[in-house]
Amino acid sequence: MSIDVFGPDVVAEAQEIVARYPRSRSALLPMLHLVQSKEGHVSPAGIAFCADRLGLTTAEVDAVVTFYTMYKRNPCGEHLVSVCTNTLCAMLGGDSIYARLREFLGEDHAPNGHEETFGAPGTTGSITLEHVECLAACDLAPVLQVNYEFFDNQTVDGAVHLVDALRRGEKPDPDRGAPLTDFRDVSRQLAGFLDRLDSDVDGPSAATETVRGAALAAERGWTAPTMPDDAPLPVVPDKK
């Protein structure tokens, strides 16, 4: 069944993933990304495929899919736009950004919990909009991601301009991370297939604000104190 659904090329790539691990079940997370890269989501067929290849039950695979929000149960748009609405981002405008983007994208969408897809899934310019928990970029709040790449210090108008460009088929450069591709391609990268290695890792990886402390230390010659040669080693309590 699995070959009929996904084809021998996907079966071969699944075998390549399994070969990376000493225990086959450890390959589940990247294999789920692989099937997501083919269908734009993790379908029941994708769950069955992973279970069959890894000797797991479909219930075991489904438990993982429903736990991790990066696995989508419904077809995703070309671009996944994730707006942080956790505490700091929300206070600085994240809630307003999310509400305005929903209004801008319109009412013609397919809701699915905290995700909404605008346009035919997977087609050029289609958007899946979601609100997410902390994206670990509080120093650059409010932030959003497009296909998991960062757009920092957002405003309502800036976010609308960004999403409008995506809908026109453009791919603006993120503030941090690799150049934009699409959701399926990113899923393939997360499965461990970096077909364009140079471009996949191209782009700035840190914001100026994040490394400002290190830059100041270098400018002013600050260094951390060294450990004396005769300093006693820490004592680890004996657990009984």
Q: Is residue 227 part of a domain?
A: no
User: Is 111 found in the same domain as 155?
Assistant: yes
Does the predicted TM-score (pTM) go above 0.75? Answer: yes
pLDDT tens profile 145-169? 999 999 999 999 999 999 999 999 9
Residue range 107-133: average pLDDT? 83
Q: Are residues 57 and 85 in the same domain?
A: no
Domain residue limits at 59: 2-67
Give the CATH number, domain containing residue 35.
1.10.10
pLDDT at residue 199, as a whole number: 64
Domain shared by 173 and 84, yes or no: yes
Task: Indicate if the pLDDT at residue 233 is higher than 90.
Answer: no
Pairwise pLDDT comparison (80 vs 232), residue with the higher score:
80
Q: For residue 228, is it within any domain?
A: no
Higher-confidence position of 228 and 63: 63
Mean pLDDT of 126-143: 93
Rounded Cα–Cα distance for residues 65 and 23 (Å)? 19
pLDDT for position 3 = 46
Look at residue 104 and give its three-state secondary structure: helix
Q: Which of 47, 67, 87 is the last residue of a domain?
A: 67
* Mean local confidence (pLDDT), 56-78: 95
Work out the average pLDDT over 30-47: 96
Domain assignment present for 49 = yes
- The verdict on residue 236 lying in a domain is no
Q: What is the mean pLDDT of residues 218-236?
A: 83
Q: Which residue has the higher pLDDT, 198 or 232?
A: 232
Q: Assess contact for 115 and 105: CB atoms under 8 A.
A: no
Is there a single domain that holds both residue 7 and residue 116? no
Least confident of 37-41, 86-90, 131-135, 192-196: 192-196
Shared domain check, 88 and 8: no
Looking at the fold, whether 84 and 178 belong to one and the same domain comes out as yes
Average pLDDT of the chain? 89
At residue 2, does pLDDT exceed 60?
no
* Number of compact structural domains in the chain: 2
CB 84 within 8 A of CB 140: no
CATH of residue 169:
3.40.30.10
In a domain, 72, yes or no: no
User: Is the residue at 45 inside a domain?
Assistant: yes
Region 69-94: mean pLDDT is 95
Q: What H or E segment, with its residue span, contains residue 148?
A: none
In a domain, 226, yes or no: no
pLDDT at 107: 64
What percent of the chain is predicted at pLDDT more than 90? 73
Residue 142 preceded by cis peptide, ω within 30: yes
Same domain, 114 and 159: yes
Is 141 found in the same domain as 55?
no
Q: Is the pLDDT of residue 132 over 50?
A: yes
Q: Are residues 101 and 167 in the same domain?
A: yes
Paired sense of beta strands 144-146 and 149-151, if any: antiparallel
Residue 230 predicted with pLDDT over 80: no
The pLDDT of residue 111 = 56
Query: What's the pLDDT at 104?
Result: 95
Last residue of a domain, one of 41, 67, 93: 67
The more confident residue out of 198 and 124 is 124
Residues 27 and 102 in one domain: no
| Helix intervals (H) in 19-120 | 28-39, 44-54, 58-67, 87-89, 95-105
